Structure 1
Amino acid sequence: MSSSFERYQKRRLISSYFSVVLSIALVLFLLGLLGLLVLNAKKVSDHFKEQVVLTIYLKDTAKEVEVKQMEKSLAMADYVKSIEYVSKEQAAESMKAENGEDFMEFLGFNPLLNSIDVHIKADYVTEEQLKLIADETTSKSFVDEVRYDNDLVTLMNNNVKKISFWILVISGLFTVIAVLLINSSIRLSVYSKRFTIKTMQMVGATKKFIRRPFVWKSVRLGIIGAVVALIGMAVVLYYIDKTFPELEFLKNQILIASLFLGVFAMGIVITWISTFIATQRFLNLKTDQLYY
């Protein structure tokens, strides 16, 4: 009978520890992913901004030397990430592939112009900067016109500001929720031992002596939970890097290491503080208050 009760208590204890570890791991995992998003928010927004293409259409009368000179000056410009020359024949082939029919059969000639596609660096993708670049480029005699999606640029910049603000708000809110959830799990774990705490106190054990094993046990559970969360984060990060290699999430390894270290430290600090507060509460309770 005694052996059966001991096994029951042991299973109950293991189940309690597992619940605490799972709660810590899930909370830290989600918090880590949010931290990853916050740290890479600018990189993600820059990636989408740099998809905006400014297209320079060249007149048919443009000389080859003029075009080459423009390509060189663009390649050296501070605001340019990359350029690509698109001949009128290439443009016609692309349009044919896109529409599924050869429009030149109806027209009898190619009405398209040679062009240069310019990918602008993210810091210069604003309405003002793009207008200055377009006006400067259009002033050249061999340039027919410059086109870019100004509405898309405006919408993108407005959305980036809104998303950045809400990411910061959600990060702060989620951090508070994470602390509360972990604290709740730790308190429930300590609550199940409240009678043991009071018994030790009644036989003369000091608060520090009683508190120490509870704190160290919770810290160990916090470490295990943090390790599980970090493994999950590493898997997600690897998947993102394989799926979206252009975002280069793994490029800044120091930043990633700092994030992982921060999540690991948070698992230890939160569990330590939560256990300290929880045990202190039960140590200060009177015996008749343990039943409520």
Structure 2
Amino acid sequence: MNKSQLRFKKKKKLGSYPYFSVVFSITISLFVIGLFGLMVLHTSKLTQIISENVEVQVYLDKFVTENDKIIINKTLSSRDFVLKKEDKPEIYFVSKEEAATQLIEETGQDFLELLGDNPLRDAFTIKISPDYHDPEKIENIKAEIESINGVFEVSYVKSLISTITENVTIIGFVLIGFSAFLILATLILINNTIKLALFSQRFLIRSMQLVGATKSFIRKPFLTRALLHGFLSGILSSALLFVLLEYANLKIDELKLIQDQNKIYILFGSLVVLGTLVGLISTYRSMNKYLKLSLDQLY
């Protein structure tokens, strides 16, 4: 048997369709999905950070005692609308002396010498939980805090809260819509790539049927390869994304502040699972199609 015959025999081996283009196409498709996934994760984290920094200033009466301040602090800490991290309420006390020092540093002018007295008040700064960012809820919170004994006034930037709420809602809808479209388009692309790759094997599949091979026997080598191709593509796409992310971190130091490593690793794992499942499902569907075609339809 000469070399040309050996090559021909190898080419006609069941399930041995050219796999480079399939792996390449699936890898690129998964890379695009992963790239958008990273953008969604970073956007979500940034949105979360912005939402968690919505603050309300609680100014106290001028003659409140230290005991009154402790009671007010405990009262505020027990409220559900106060943001909590690791079960610790995000409440910070700023004395009128600290506030005066900060104001002098910012303006460069010592207003204490001009006025002869410190007109500022002791205050608590409270971070509000994102669940309570609705303007109506904020107003209710304001009224509730002002009813506490020793509280002079509650202040917050209304326009900022409204803007954050509206923008978070819009960004959420846009990301969901675009994600659905991108995933659907990518899955169709992968499915068509595999279908075209199996097209070259349609006559071999027919020949196996003619000699009495069962459908499961014919499918097995194709599904095995699809499993390997999808898994390999997921690994390659995750590796490319990891390299890209590390490069971005080197160029942008602050980028790490809006990264959740656990979610990023989950994304990489999802790409591997997605590549494997899509490869298997697309191959299975294409195989069923070619197994049902008549000889005339194969042409």
Q: Is contact 1:29–1:229 with CA below 8 Å preserved after alignment?
A: yes
* Structure 2 residue corresponding to 1:249, chosen from 260, 267, 275: 260
Question: Which residue number corresponds to residue 21 of structure 1?
Answer: 23
Amino acid at match of 1:28: L
Amino acid at match of 1:75: S
Question: Which residue number corresponds to residue 235 of structure 2?
Answer: 227
Question: Which residue number corresponds to residue 270 of structure 1?
Answer: 278
TM-score when normalising by structure 2:
0.73
* Structure 2 residue corresponding to 1:191, chosen from 192, 199, 203: 199
Amino acid at match of 1:191: F
Residues in 2 aligned to 1:210 and 1:136: alpha-carbon distance in whole angstroms: 72
Q: Is contact 1:96–1:102 with CA below 8 Å preserved after alignment?
A: yes
- SS of 1:145 mapped into structure 2: strand
Residues in 1 aligned to 2:73 and 2:143: alpha-carbon distance in whole angstroms: 17
Q: Is contact 1:50–1:125 with CA below 8 Å preserved after alignment?
A: no
Q: Which piece of structure 1 moves more, 13-22 or 207-216?
A: 13-22
Change (3 A) 1:130 1:235: farther
Aligned residues: 282
How do 1:25-104 residues align onto structure 2 when only pairs under 5 Å count? Answer: 25-31=27-33, 45-81=47-83, 82-99=90-107, 101-104=108-111
Residues in 2 aligned to 1:143 and 1:282: alpha-carbon distance in whole angstroms: 77
TM-score when normalising by structure 1:
0.75
Amino acid at match of 1:175: I
Question: Which residue number corresponds to residue 279 of structure 1?
Answer: 287
Kindly indicate whether residue 114 of structure 2 is the aligned counterpart of residue 107 of structure 1. Answer: yes
Pairwise CA RMSD of aligned residues? 4.1
Residues in 2 aligned to 1:143 and 1:32: alpha-carbon distance in whole angstroms: 50
Query: CA-to-partner distance for each residue in 1:223-277, whole Å, 9 max, x for gaps?
Result: 111233444566788888x956776835689xx65x6665443322221221122
Residues in 2 aligned to 1:71 and 1:202: alpha-carbon distance in whole angstroms: 83
* Structure 2 residue corresponding to 1:176, chosen from 170, 173, 184: 184
Amino acid at match of 1:249: D
- SS of 2:235 mapped into structure 1: helix
Q: Which piece of structure 1 moves more, 175-184 or 133-142?
A: 133-142
Residues in 1 aligned to 2:170 and 2:158: alpha-carbon distance in whole angstroms: 19
Query: CA-to-partner distance for each residue in 1:191-210, whole Å, 9 max, x for gaps?
Result: 23334434444555444433
Change (3 A) 1:251 1:193: closer
Residues in 2 aligned to 1:53 and 1:166: alpha-carbon distance in whole angstroms: 27
Q: Is contact 1:16–1:189 with CA below 8 Å preserved after alignment?
A: yes
Q: Is contact 1:41–1:164 with CA below 8 Å preserved after alignment?
A: no
Change (3 A) 1:75 1:236: farther
Question: Which residue number corresponds to residue 137 of structure 2?
Answer: 129
Amino acid at match of 1:224: L
- SS of 1:79 mapped into structure 2: coil
Q: What's the CA shift for 1:181?
A: 1.4
Amino acid at match of 2:126: V
Residues in 2 aligned to 1:147 and 1:244: alpha-carbon distance in whole angstroms: 32
Change (3 A) 1:175 1:122: same
5+ long unaligned stretches in structure 1: none
Change (3 A) 1:251 1:61: farther
Q: Is contact 1:21–1:224 with CA below 8 Å preserved after alignment?
A: yes
Q: What's the CA shift for 1:153?
A: 1.6
Q: What's the CA shift for 1:52?
A: 0.6
- SS of 1:80 mapped into structure 2: coil
Residues in 2 aligned to 1:87 and 1:14: alpha-carbon distance in whole angstroms: 76
- SS of 2:59 mapped into structure 1: strand
Percent identity over the alignment is 33
